[in-house]
């Protein structure tokens, strides 16, 4: 009986041992099928900084067109924080006007990636000016990477290298008197003259009113009644402008400037004789308007001149303007340049103040 029990116990132990061995054999290894297998090679990806050339090309193309909005969009955020788009465009306009630049050419020369976030580009710019010939410079621009795109770190040296902080361009002008217009007999139609603006104050005329009508009628070659009609309904204390005349015309008409109520103001300006003969042919002059300023500054005008707006005054404008002497002032570089067709030599040179 005891033997049978021992045989049963030994059989059970052997059965348990066999099951345990089978379970151990079927357990998968923790670190893979083969502890001696090699690890996979990790992939290596290199991300290159983008080319800075296209941004500079876009900037220079906009520069040649005067497209300040596009240029401004291509400068860095720090640069935009330092200057508004309006002031940015004005910096270029002021420089172009001072140089009398009528056209610009530019060319990208080189670009260099300094680091993943910094680059430099070299370009050449040529300003074709009315007064001082061509101004050519090679300029180095710094670029910074922002959100994966290159942007230009802008300052005024990108207009001209000489325009460091606080410096600006200034042109000095010597403007002669405007040319005269004569009729076929050599008598002046329009010329620079000492003249008088003539008017009156009705309430101060008193008994002199009749004499004033007669004398002004004689000066203007019209009936005294026409003169009287100009002021009869005016406010007594108001000034009524009547005519303009030179000293010679006043003397020839024997106008008494001491008559009570008669007002005269002497000035030196362009004067049209005979009360402006043939105005539709002769035309007229007018101060350069704000809308015309950039155009005429780049044609070599200072901006304070009167210019011909119609007729002979307009058609002869370029001939009369050609007498202007000029000097783009500065101390770094001195040159003398005389442009074809200019009757007076240009003195001085290019630079900054």
Q: How many CB atoms within 10 Å of residue 250?
A: 19
SS3 226: helix
Largest Cα separation within the chain, whole Å, is 172
Q: What pLDDT score was predicted for residue 322?
A: 58
Residue ranges, the chain, pLDDT below 70: 1-37, 44-49, 275, 320-353
Q: What pLDDT score was predicted for residue 287?
A: 84
pLDDT, tens digit, for every residue of 47-88?
A: 666 888 999 999 999 999 999 999 999 999 999 999 999 999
Q: Which of 291, 280, 275, 269 is nearest to 313 (CA)?
A: 280
Domains of the chain plus CATH, in order, are 53-166 (3.10.450.100), 187-275 (3.90.1310.10)
Q: What pLDDT score was predicted for residue 235?
A: 93
Residue 90's alpha-carbon distances to 66, 73, 86, 170, 300, in angstroms, are 11, 16, 6, 15, 18
Contacts of range 226-230, beta carbons closer than 8 Å, 24 or more positions apart = none
Q: Which helix (H) or strand (E) holds 250?
A: helix 247-252
Supply the pTM of this predicted model: 0.60
- The tokens describing 334, both together, are 């001195």
Q: How far apart are the first and last CA of the chain?
A: 127
pLDDT, tens digit, for every residue of 267-277?
A: 887 878 876 77
């Amino acid at each position: 009986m005891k033997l049978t029990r021992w045989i049963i116990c030994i059989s059970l132990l052997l059965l348990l041992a066999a099951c345990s061995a089978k379970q151990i054999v079927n357990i998968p290894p923790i670190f893979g099928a083969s502890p001696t297998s090699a690890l996979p090679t990790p992939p290596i990806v290199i991300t290159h900084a983008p080319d800075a050339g296209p941004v500079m090309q876009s900037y220079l193309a906009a520069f040649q067109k005067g497209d300040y909005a596009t240029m401004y969009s291509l400068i860095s955020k720090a640069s935009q924080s330092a200057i508004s788009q309006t002031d940015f465009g004005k910096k270029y306009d002021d420089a172009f006007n001072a140089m009398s630049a009528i056209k610009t050419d530019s060319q990208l020369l080189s670009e260099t990636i300094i680091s993943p976030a910094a680059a430099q580009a070299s370009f050449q710019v040529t300003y074709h000016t009315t007064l001082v010939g061509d101004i050519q410079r090679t300029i180095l621009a710094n670029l910074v990477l922002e959100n994966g795109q290159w942007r230009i770190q802008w300052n005024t040296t990108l207009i001209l290298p000489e325009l460091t902080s606080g410096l600006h361009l200034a042109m000095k002008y010597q403007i002669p008197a405007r040319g005269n217009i004569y009729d076929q007999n050599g008598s002046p139609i329009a010329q620079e003259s000492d003249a008088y603006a003539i008017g009156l104050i009705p309430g101060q005329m008193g008994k002199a009113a009749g004499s004033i009508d007669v004398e002004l009628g004689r000066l203007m070659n019209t009936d005294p009644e026409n003169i009287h009609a100009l002021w009869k309904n005016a406010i007594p204390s108001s000034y009524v402008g009547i005519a303009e005349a030179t000293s010679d015309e006043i003397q020839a008409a024997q106008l008494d400037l001491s008559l009570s109520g008669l007002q005269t103001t002497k000035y030196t300006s362009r004067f049209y004789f005979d009360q402006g003969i043939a105005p539709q042919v002769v035309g007229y002059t007018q101060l350069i308007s704000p809308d015309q300023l950039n155009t005429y500054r780049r044609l070599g005008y200072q901006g304070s001149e009167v210019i011909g707006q119609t007729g002979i005054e307009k058609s002869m404008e370029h001939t009369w303007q050609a007498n202007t002497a000029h000097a783009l002032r500065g101390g770094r570089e001195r040159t003398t340049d005389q442009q074809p067709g200019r009757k007076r030599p240009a003195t001085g040179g290019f630079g900054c103040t």
